[in-house]
A and B are shown apart, each in its own frame.
Chain A
């Protein structure tokens, strides 16, 4: 079974630039999550999708972050404009059902904002 795929793996940008991350969840997983993991901390949920609908985006900084999952499979997360404090690893995860079930994480995108 293929795992969660993410790209790019690394990205370096300057502040105020924009960046986009892509995620392909495990086939058949209806729930997709985007997490932000700052160095030394646990993953923090940014947004959760159930199929192509947003379930929870309460912790997403909506003035600069946006995410979509148009066809209920792949998802993109965008930051525009980026700030220094956005430097982190952005993890995508998927699960069969929301919350209670095991989440499978992708390798993450390591973002450095200069």
Chain B
């Protein structure tokens, strides 16, 4: 089955530093989604990337989808304490007649004020 791997598993940064998490799929993806989960909370959708080489920005967050559509990254510029949480990438794969999202294990971001 499809595997989605994320690195690093944990990242501790000083407030104001940049942060990047990487996501790799074992197969080509039709799209990739990113979710954020705050401590004690539930995953919240951030963005979906569809096109090869696509780059999207949300304020200080920059999302990229690789040319081969097998990898993606999320970069946060000048982290703030509000960025704390676990960031998951998720890719759809075809199974049992439908599509399911497979989530990576996530990157847990801690921001030291």
Total count of chain A residues near the partner, CB < 8 A = 23
Give A9 Cβ to nearest chain B Cβ, in Å: 11
B99 (CB) vs chain A CBs: closest residue: A99
- Residue of B42, B92, B97, B106 touching A42 (CB-CB under 8 A): B106
A-chain residues with CB within 8 Å of residue B43 when the two chains form the complex? 43, 91, 93, 103, 105
- Is the CB–CB distance between A56 and B42 below 8 Å? no
B-chain residues with CB within 8 Å of residue A104 when the two chains form the complex? 45
- Residue of B45, B102, B106 touching A103 (CB-CB under 8 A): B45
Which residues of A (85-114) have their CB < 8 Å from a CB of B? 91, 93, 98-100, 102-108
B-chain residues with CB within 8 Å of residue A103 when the two chains form the complex? 33, 43, 45, 101
Is B63 on the interface with A (CB-CB < 8 A)? no
A97 (CB) vs chain B CBs: closest residue: B99
- Is the CB–CB distance between A99 and B100 below 8 Å? yes
Is A24 on the interface with B (CB-CB < 8 A)? no
B-chain residues with CB within 8 Å of residue A107 when the two chains form the complex? 41-42
- Residue of B30, B94, B97, B100 touching A45 (CB-CB under 8 A): B100
Is A55 on the interface with B (CB-CB < 8 A)? yes
B4 (CB) vs chain A CBs: closest residue: A42
Give A40 Cβ to nearest chain B Cβ, in Å: 8
* Contacts A42-B104, A91-B42, A100-B31 given; does A55 touch B88 at CB 8 Å: no
- Residue of B48, B90, B98, B105 touching A55 (CB-CB under 8 A): B98
- Most chain A CB within 10 A, of B44, B90, B99, B102, is at B99
Is B65 on the interface with A (CB-CB < 8 A)? no
- Is the CB–CB distance between A55 and B96 below 8 Å? yes
A-B contact pairs, 10 of them (CB 8 A): A41-B106, A43-B43, A45-B101, A55-B98, A56-B98, A98-B98, A99-B101, A100-B30, A103-B33, A107-B42
Q: Which residues on A are within 8 Å of B, measured CB to CB?
A: 40-45, 48, 50, 55-56, 58, 91, 93, 98-100, 102-108
Question: Contacts A55-B98, A91-B42, A100-B99 given; 20 further ones with Cβ under 8 A?
Answer: A41-B106, A42-B103, A42-B104, A43-B103, A55-B97, A91-B43, A98-B98, A98-B99, A99-B98, A99-B100, A100-B31, A102-B33, A102-B45, A102-B48, A103-B33, A103-B101, A105-B42, A105-B43, A105-B44, A108-B42
